[in-house]
Structure 1
């Protein structure tokens, strides 16, 4: 945590000192504030927990209730080698638009091993009806890490409910 704070402080200092030499004009501090509430934060955290519990329960239907719709972006972000391989079949392949959530739901239903997704370093940034949730994750199968990486969710509040409309992750 201390290392992350030092890195952030160093990066901010570098940006601050670089600004005049790059022609970026210093502007007065904005008087803008995010529109966020403790109730929204709690509701977003509840979505995260319901997702986590649904993975453990292998309940794709429960996860689908957390989604804005079943056609959302729900993809691992491929490395360049995987993109290049995909372009052998489709010259326009960009690493997105794979089987998405329906495939994940089928995986959950058919998986015999005990599974769990663990979240750490969770950051929620919200402004009104839009939220970004970012975290480090570990996906476990029978108690062993199957893959890990960083995951980003975009959520939208509609009809008083927070719904996920994008899930992307890296995997190593």
Structure 2
């Protein structure tokens, strides 16, 4: 597969940042249990801003699911769809399903995909480093003052800051 399929096309960013909500980990837990009920042998992690205590975020819980073979959709995709998720993105190395309410995004990768380590590196560093957590939140707040006709453009606009934070996280691990 060499193309990106976005089911439904580009969507404008329509949600604002919310103050940290103690219900986000609970929502993750419900979805972790829902996913494990249909896919008991996959890895499931809470990622993204809602996984970092004290960090303002869009109220969308991001879930990372790791599978043995991303191309073997018959091993996971039908089960996720039957559990109530809908397909949003199909691209090389990554699938995204989400709730119809769009309040939970489930990112599916192979266990050893580089993106998996990158998500966990960023999450764990932001949980531990107050200065980088504040920088990331300030960046998101500044970006949210703009109108975004494509949510992906908002995500791309954070890349430079995220890269710098992950570079510091890697340096701290040495």
Q: TM-score, normalised by structure 1?
A: 0.26
Bigger proportion of residues as strand: 1
Bigger proportion of residues as helix: 2
Q: TM-score, normalised by structure 2?
A: 0.26
Q: Which has the higher contact order (CA 8 A, sep 6+)?
A: 2
